[in-house]
Chains A and B, each alone.
Chain A
Amino acid sequence: MRIDRDKCVACGNCLPVCPVGAIRIDPDIGRAVVNEDECVECFACFRGMSKEHLNPVMVRTIRRIARLFRFRFDPEPDICPTDAIVPQELAWPRSVRRAFSDPQVPHESTGIHGRGTAEVKTNDVTNRVKEGEAGYVVEFGRPGVGARFRDIQRVTTALADCGVEFEQNNPVTSLMTDPSRGLIRDDILNEKILSAIVEIKTRLEQVPTILKKIRDLAQEVNTVISVGVSTRCDAAGNDALREILEREGYPMYRGKTNLGLGRVTRASAEASVEGRA
């Protein structure tokens, strides 16, 4: 993302809306500028701000006069008055930033918007996580901190050493050169993204070990990690995961519950799902 210097009037509205704080006013030129190394190409500034299309010269003149008299105009805080925020054409590897940061861009590997994972949200249809299994979503950079793939790789390689298997239909896995070792392609390791999810699956009895491993690894990375754990309930709707988390002292106040109201409705797909169940 970049700010058009001819249009920017340095109103400062875009500064706080940047999720990673990559925009500032450069006092030398009196315009907002984007720190390209920190910008994750999430498009929150470009898309989230409403736009006026005012004449920049006129706006600067009014602002100059107001400043002279120390008047403070109290504008709407989410408007770019001169439409000065301009997306750039993104080439590889920078394009990976947008793929993992802009929720409106579907991931090529999964076709899903957002972070490109279905987790257990569609488990009633896909049977991805079965009874006795635990699915993990380990999300790097969330909330609002951002992460570099170098940090993600530090964790994925350590998890691979534990023998876990990475979910194949996942955007991070699709960028691994060697999933069995958790290695991510070299050319993106320094790219910063708003967040990325690593998904793994184990048996339920391994939950304490894996979560402890993730907790320990989290101390070694320069970002935050949000963790979710899932399982399939038994025929009565009870889940064995709760007891494990409670015993291990993890918070489990909030979460998602798949109601089991989904089903395969395309006749041609029924056979393939039965095979997975």
Chain B
Amino acid sequence: MTNTLHRYSEHYAFDGRPASPEPIKDDYIVFAMASRGLNDENLVDKYRRFLRLALKHNPVNIGDASKGGMLRPRTDMNPTAHWRRDHAPDPEQVIAGIEGHTTVAAVFDNYGAMKAFVEELKRANLGISINISAPMEDARLCCQEAGITRHSVEYSIGFRGRVDKLPDGTTLELSTMCGHGMVSANFARKMTEWVKENRRTPGEAARYMARFCICGVFNTNRAERIIQQACNLKR
């Protein structure tokens, strides 16, 4: 799940970084992971319970790192999809598909939902490791308000080396929402261009990208917001 560690924002920008970048207020991930042989009895039930609890707090996405998220590609498309495609997310498919060891995650677009979910997880006492992947200060505050003592922390300290090979900031913000790299920069750029050309809406563009993210941590609401801002549709 290092895949959620380096979600790019202006806070990691290289040259020309704004002095005080806007805080990210719509991207909070909570994920669960068991340790082999240590706390993995009844694992499928524990993971399913985690996801069921998440659904009570309206997550943007939920995912199973070995199967995918609420939006997935299909192998049985027919030509009518080009005009009438079903874009409805399917959380039940995620829950039903859990078979064993994996990482399960829930993505929220607001602090309140994440905090309420974390409080519920504390009460549920599943016994598996729970992590928040988010701005560190928000995670610290969430723990404080939920009466949880942080066990360990891991900081993303950004990118080094041939950063000249990286795409522009907007594209990077979109593509790094799948840290496994399954949402390609070229595809993210193409989707942004399509919205600019009025060929697709920001929501449709976000959903196309989400289908490539194999662990379901792509935040479609944040993606919509990023595309809207890039296309000057919303300030």
Residues of A that sit less than 8 Å from B by CB: 15-21, 42, 44, 47-52, 54, 74-79, 83, 101, 103-104, 106, 111-115, 117-126, 129, 135, 137, 139, 142-145, 194-195, 197, 211, 214-215, 218-219, 221-233, 235-237, 239, 241-242, 245, 250-266, 269, 273
Contacts and interface: CB of A to CB of B under 8 A. Distances in A.
Contacts of A137: 2, 5, 154
A257 B1 CA distance: 12
B158 A250 contact: yes
B185 interface: yes
- Chain A: interface secondary structure? loop
A124 B136 contact: no
B229 interface: no
A139 B214 contact: no
12 contacts: A15-B186, A17-B184, A106-B66, A135-B154, A143-B172, A219-B161, A228-B6, A251-B11, A253-B9, A256-B131, A256-B154, A258-B150
A50 to B, nearest CB: 4
Interface range for B: 35 or more
Given A222-B162, A258-B131, 4 more contacts: A144-B181, A223-B165, A259-B130, A264-B39
A185 B233 CA distance: 52
A122 B135 contact: no
A252 B154 CA distance: 9
A258 B185 CA distance: 30
B125 interface: yes
B3 interface: yes
A231 B153 contact: yes
A124 B172 CA distance: 32
Given A50-B75, A125-B129, A266 B41 contact: yes
